[in-house]
Structure 1
Amino acid sequence: MQLEQQISALIETGALPAGTTLPPGRKLAQDLGLSRTTVQKCYDTLRRNKLLSAHGRLGFTVVAGDRVEPSMERLKGFTEEMREIGRVPSSRIIERAVVTDRSIASVFRLPSTAPLLKLVRVRFGDETPMSREVAWYNLTAAPALAKSDLEGSVYALLRTCGAALTHCEQTIEAAQPDAEECATFGFTEPRPCLLIKRRSFDADNRLVEYVEGLFRGDAYAYKLNLTI
């Protein structure tokens, strides 16, 4: 119980930030002069309390607070998801440019010379990095985006531009972050993440947004309601 309380306090104060890998149970037991069983029970309790996540041979990692559990029944942006769980959303823009890209233009079914807005952002919840997104936007559908302030919700901007998103096609798959993405999330070594690819459309069925977002696996749990 003392070990559990001490580790919990280190997590809550930020001394052990999200993504930190704790020492293997055997090593920590030796360092503290405790039995391996005691340390394992402590880790298991912290995992049940959602302070740690287990990664097999890689051990236990500090999670990023409450998991985001968005329903897949409704299209929502990152800003709305964060606000729903009481977190303050923010973004850091890594790259923003109006580009032409033949392969991405083909995704939009546009001419190869069509202008696209490319936006690379790190998204934060309460200053914890939650995702790294690479997005492209159809400037034919929403030309005002090219000169808009993109620090906040792009979905809100699209509504004011007359290109509100109404539906999307989305895939989710497991992915391993590369070195740059590990640095973004503060991982000391690669950890399981979710790669989400989304094509979002407006009411006229125009493809307005194509985004590939890497979300930290210890912070997201998507849920579905299925009926027979």
Structure 2
Amino acid sequence: MNAQREAAPTKRAQPPKYREITSVLRDELRSQAIGTQLAPERELAERFSVSRMTLRQALDELEAEGRIARVRGSGSFVRRPTVAMGPTLTSFTEDMRTRGLQPSSRLLGFERIDSGTASGEMLAEVTDEVIRIERLRLADDEPMCIEVALFPVHLQRMLESGDLEKSVHAILRAGGIELTSLDRRVRAVAAGPRESRLLGLPEGAPALEVFDIFRDSSGLTVQWARSRYRADRYEVMTRTNRIDNDRGDSAVRHQRTTAPQ
């Protein structure tokens, strides 16, 4: 008989049953149209062989994620999570992953253009050429926005060597460039014919047009971007503080959005 006994294998703790149900339903909801009604709670509880209390925990999770809307007396209906742009510097990829969505991009264009053909707001420090990248950004394979971004021409090789159907900010970070500040302007616009087709919207549907200027720690502009987001999936959140000036009047301090440390 061995002097030492083999240790009994440690059993891994199983996740709560409602989380398993949440995961299954989440995957199913991604392929269902907005407004589709879920099966009644009783049927879902029988399907997963759980109590209605356990099932409701799963539905609570999905409702908190913005994936379903529950209407008293009518049932639960499929919806899509609304993504909020907050007061911290985060990328599209980070925003999607934080909300349990799978981000991806479809490259629509990559070209080197004369900066004189671009808006005067684009990369003000650049006087010759810029790199223009256009992408369709998706979450769970659903179109979310069309992004046109400009970069200094010296970043061309770095950008070409990276995977532009993933995070451009990750490419920059891997190349030693950290974006630390952001100026943002948002306005409402009507989606044009091409944008409506790419975003899966009716022509002329409302969209959020977001202008972003990203800078590095030295204050140099690294990226200028104009994105048009689906207004039904996005909202903008900000934070301001009220201060008093020398006259005793109330004023609002403008806050630049900065990257979390």
Give TM-score, length-normalised by structure 1: 0.69
Aligned length: 178
Shift of 1:221: 1.3
Q: Partner of 2:7 in structure 1?
A: none
Shift of 1:135: 0.6
Shift of 1:161: 1.4
Structure ID, larger Rg: 2
Q: Partner of 2:142 in structure 1?
A: 128
Q: Partner of 2:6 in structure 1?
A: none
Shift of 1:15: 5.6
1:180 aligns with 2:197: no
Shift of 1:17: 5.2
Given residue 233 of structure 2, which amino acid in structure 1 is its aligned partner?
A: A
Structure 2: gaps (5+ residues): 1-27, 36-65, 70-76, 243-261
Q: Partner of 1:171 in structure 2?
A: 185
Bigger Cα displacement from structure 2, 160-169 vs 136-145: 136-145
Report 1:52-63 matches (<5 A). none
Contact 1:64 1:218 in 2 (8 A): no
Q: Partner of 2:93 in structure 1?
A: 79
Cα deviation per residue 1:18-61 (whole Å; 9 max; x = unaligned)? 9xxxxxxxxxxxxxxxxxxxxxxxxxxxxxx8879xxxxxxxxx
Q: Partner of 2:128 in structure 1?
A: 113
Higher strand proportion, which one?
Answer: 2
Contact 2:104 2:141 in 1 (8 A): yes
CA 184–206 in structure 1, closer or farther in 2 if over 3 Å, else same: same
Identity in percent = 25
Cα deviation per residue 1:75-126 (whole Å; 9 max; x = unaligned)? 1110000001000000000101222231438532345433x22110000010
Q: Partner of 2:82 in structure 1?
A: 67
Q: Choose the corresponding residue for 2:226, options 207, 212, 216.
A: 212
CA 174–131 in structure 1, closer or farther in 2 if over 3 Å, else same: same
Cα deviation per residue 1:170-214 (whole Å; 9 max; x = unaligned)? 100001000001101212332111000011100111101000000
In the alignment, the residues of structure 2 paired with residue 78 and residue 64 of structure 1 have an alpha-carbon distance, to the nearest angstrom, of 20
The CA RMSD measured in Å over matched residues stands at 2.8
Q: Partner of 2:57 in structure 1?
A: none
In the alignment, the residues of structure 2 paired with residue 142 and residue 204 of structure 1 have an alpha-carbon distance, to the nearest angstrom, of 20
CA 64–125 in structure 1, closer or farther in 2 if over 3 Å, else same: farther
Higher helix proportion, which one?
Answer: 1
Structure 1: gaps (5+ residues): 1-10, 19-48, 53-61
Shift of 1:216: 0.3
Report 1:213-228 matches (<5 A). 213-228=227-242
Given residue 161 of structure 2, which amino acid in structure 1 is its aligned partner?
A: K
